Structure 1
């Protein structure tokens, strides 16, 4: 099982590559958000070994807490999470008019962007919660904060969370038929709820939902964009 994490991180990267190759109109958005997301893979020492302890290339996770796979995985889900809703519902990114940017809700724009970081840091420092729960809570409230600032993204935020959960469920579940003991061996279940959904720790699905919820609207929030239906000419 030494290379399972590496192989499955390449699989999600392959999905990213397929979308990137065949959807030219969203390449810029995918790349931007993937590069922004990738450094979050460097937070892996916060989760190893208290959440999980995966075998990794060169035994990096075991020896240092860091691993190459987390960077690949973070890069891939950053781009996919940003555009998944647009792909399913055939939406495009358009620039938000300056008249809308001046709304009083956007006066907190910069502060709201940092809500997940602040909440994660506070929970990590002042509670004994496992970091996975800190991350889930931080992402959830980050999504709600985005919703306050950008109510026009309401549908994308909630549906984006559900879409990414479904994708992640299929992605994670594809490991288990080949390696049915993978979760039992490498997740620190004693620190978690022990709730499994068809073999998948519920914490993974909570992460998927809250990540999809927050990340589906982060590009629009960060770069002052909206999502619109493409204009068709009959």
Structure 2
């Protein structure tokens, strides 16, 4: 499990991993909007959102918040003067706002095409962050790319190895573009990139920190 692996091998990132996981976990409730417009997964007890939604969101937050730091061998150096919590809140509202509107108007085109709207608003959120902290630009692009790759790999593993045909039976391709990358819906991959881009630098923005090269052997 990647989340647990990062927890074990990078004790310096445990606070970041846990905080970003906990912060993202409530977003699991967004499946109440995405089901059945976007997809219709089988859930434990047939709950919507299911327990799996919150487990997925918890893992997503931690991984998206730390993947770049692990792969690029970066540590977070605390500098309170670099904190911009108001910008972080704006970025979070750009994620949460469309979900709340989709929940309030479940049959509207807004709710039906929420995935595309989320990708746009998360991109705007990433833009706000880099406008305030240009030093986080590499993490935004790297974090988005790495979470894209991880999410793609998980989708392919589930669809081809664990549950053959899972993607075809789960996503609602009647309202999606139908464009796929090795079978994975491009909308899901777009979501992964934009979520990773906006989530990767949030910890430094909230807590006040900059990335520094991690010493060899640590």
1:50 to 33, 37, 43: 37
Q: Which runs of 5+ in 1 are unaligned?
A: 1-13
With over 3 angstroms needed to count, the CA separation of the structure-2 counterparts of 1:43 and 1:123, relative to structure 1, is closer
- Confirm or deny that 1:147 pairs with 2:125: no
Q: Would you say the 8 A contact 2:88–2:202 is kept in 1? A: no
2:204 paired residue number = 220
**Larger RCO: 1 or 2 (CA < 8 Å, sep 6+):** 2
Q: Would you say the 8 A contact 1:176–1:182 is kept in 2? A: yes
* Equivalent-residue separation in structure 1 for 2:85 and 2:15 (angstroms): 27
Alpha-carbon offset, residue 117 of structure 1? 3.8
* Equivalent-residue separation in structure 2 for 1:84 and 1:49 (angstroms): 30
Aligned length: 211
2:158 paired residue number = 175
Q: Would you say the 8 A contact 1:115–1:145 is kept in 2? A: no
1:93 paired residue number = 76
* Equivalent-residue separation in structure 1 for 2:113 and 2:70 (angstroms): 34
Q: Which moved more, 1:184-193 or 1:122-131?
A: 122-131
2:149 paired residue number = 166
1:192 to 176, 179, 187: 176
2:213 paired residue number = 229
* Equivalent-residue separation in structure 2 for 1:80 and 1:111 (angstroms): 20
1:27 paired residue number = 14
* Equivalent-residue separation in structure 2 for 1:232 and 1:40 (angstroms): 36
Q: Would you say the 8 A contact 1:113–1:222 is kept in 2? A: no
The two structures have a TM-score, normalised by structure 1, of: 0.82
* Equivalent-residue separation in structure 2 for 1:169 and 1:227 (angstroms): 26
Structure possessing the higher radius of gyration over alpha carbons: 1
Q: What is the CA RMSD across the aligned residues, in angstroms?
A: 2.3
- 4+ long deviations beyond 6 Å: none
Could you list the per-position Cα deviations for residues 107-159 of structure 1 after superposition, in whole angstroms to 9, with x for gaps in the alignment? Answer: 96366344514762697468535111122112111111111111110111011
* Equivalent-residue separation in structure 2 for 1:108 and 1:39 (angstroms): 20
